Amino acid sequence: MSPTLPHAHGGSPLCGRLRVEPADFRVDEVLGFEPSGDGEHAFLEIEKTGANTEWVARQLARALELPPVAIGFCGLKDRHAVTRQAYTVHLGRRADPDWQALSIAGVHVLRATRHARKLKRGAHRGNRFVIRLRDIEGDRAQAQAVAAAITTQGVPNYFGEQRFGHGEDNLAMARRLFAGARLPRDQRGFALSAARSALFNAVLAQRVSECNWNRALDGEVWMLAGSHSVFGPEPLSVDLEQRLAACDIHPTGPLWGRGALRSSEAVHELEMGVAAQWSEFAQGLEQAGLEQQRRSLRLLVRDLQIDWQDTSCTLAFSLESGAFATVVLRELCRSADEV
């Protein structure tokens, strides 16, 4: 996560060592549903350590002599972590193999049953994180105050550093793509996603710096909490202000593409101003054929807890799908490597 993105709650009160070992960063996928128990797909609950989600999917396909399209999963999970998530494997009428005999480095099948359909991206409700921070320095009382603010107000819903690749390589690919280079399909997808995310982050950073990322401006487009449904713009009212304060609705920012911005008035002016500063990306995304969409500017953080030890602490919290734990973490603690 770029240190230049403004913080919402006064800056990180703590400094510590992050991800010293994979077990310091644990992620449990929260599906929000149970497998059907029958069907043509094997439903696997997998624990993986130090392994990329897509790499595991490819290894499953290879081990079972299936095409990659036969493997389904809900979301990409951190590689440098211990994560639990579900996969589906389209076996058809084939008998289930001995899942415990599956030999994939860092992968252990915890449960196997059957399911009626392939898991699709974004089908899960969210994720539960447990993160250990080592060699902590800083103001613990202030950290508790920031945690209380996060609990009531949420955090800016930035895209995390993972979206941009190591050393922001994906943004470099986007610049090559927009300059006319031809990229393989997967690299093109990473490049477009990174460019779109960078432009969204720039709009959100502007609003955080102006202290209105979680407040209503004229011309706002709203997103219903817990969904991707949007409405507006419409004139500000007492009802909208009350729903905003209750975290029932959130302001949104643009996921850039072709077509007119949905926002109007002050929001439209701000977003167009930022897009002018990022014209290379805005024009490139339009020419690539992506359509305008919206993303919530505010991310709610559920069940945030801090467990303090002598020289370390453990953070635990839950996020909706599509959100990044790093944007919560950065409000509380910066890496000792950045100092």
Pairing of strands 25-30, 82-90: parallel
User: What CATH architecture is 155-299?
Assistant: 2-Layer Sandwich (3.30)
Task: For residue range 117-142, list pLDDT tens digits in order.
Answer: 999 998 999 999 999 999 999 999 99
How many other C-beta atoms lie within 10 A of the C-beta of residue 120? Answer: 11
In which band, very low, low, confident or very high, does the pLDDT at 154 lie, cut at 50, 70 and 90?
very high
Residues paired with residue 138 on neighbouring β-strands, in sequence order? 14
Quick check: is 78 catalytic? yes
pLDDT higher than threshold 60 for residue 184: yes
Sorted by sequence, the CB contacts under 8 Å of residue 265 that are 6+ apart come out as: 217, 218, 219, 233
pLDDT in the model for residue 2: 52
Tokens representing 11?
């800056």
Total residue count of the chain as it appears in this document: 339
- Nearest one of 77, 78, 80, 55 to 68, comparing CA atoms: 55
* Residue 196 CA neighbour count, 13 Å, CB half: 23
Handedness of CA 251, 253, 259, 263 (dihedral sign): positive
- pLDDT class for 1, splitting at 50, 70, 90? very low
Of 338, 317, 320, 303, the closest CA to residue 131 belongs to: 317
Instruction: Give the HSE-up count for residue 145: Cα atoms under 13 Å, Cβ half-sphere.
Output: 12
pLDDT at 338: 62
> Do 67 and 20 contact (CB within 8 A), yes or no?
no
Helix 185-209 / helix 265-277 crossing angle, nearest 10 deg: 130
Q: Residues 265, 297: contact at Cβ < 8 Å? A: no
pLDDT for the residue 76:
87
CA dihedral (27, 31, 37, 41) positive or negative: negative
Amino acid present at 10: G
- pLDDT bin (cut points 50, 70, 90) of residue 277 is very high
CATH of domain 33-115: 3.30.2350.20
Q: What is the pLDDT of residues 11-46, one digit of tens each?
A: 999 999 999 999 999 999 999 999 999 999 999 999
Catalytic residue among 78, 139, 169, 218: 78
Q: Single out the residue of 295, 286, 272 nearest to residue 206, CA to CA.
A: 272
Q: How far apart are CA 40 and CA 156, in angstroms?
A: 41
Q: What is the C-alpha separation between 76 and 279, in angstroms, rounded?
A: 29
Place of tokens 């054929």: 289
Q: What is the pLDDT of residue 335?
A: 87
Domain ranges of the chain: 14-23+126-150+303-338, 33-115, 155-299
In the chain, DSSP finds a helix count (H) and a strand count (E) of 8, 16
Average pLDDT value for the chain: 94
The whole-angstrom separation of Cα 277 and Cα 280 is 8
257 vs 284: CA distance, rounded Å: 9
Q: What is the pLDDT of residue 138?
A: 95
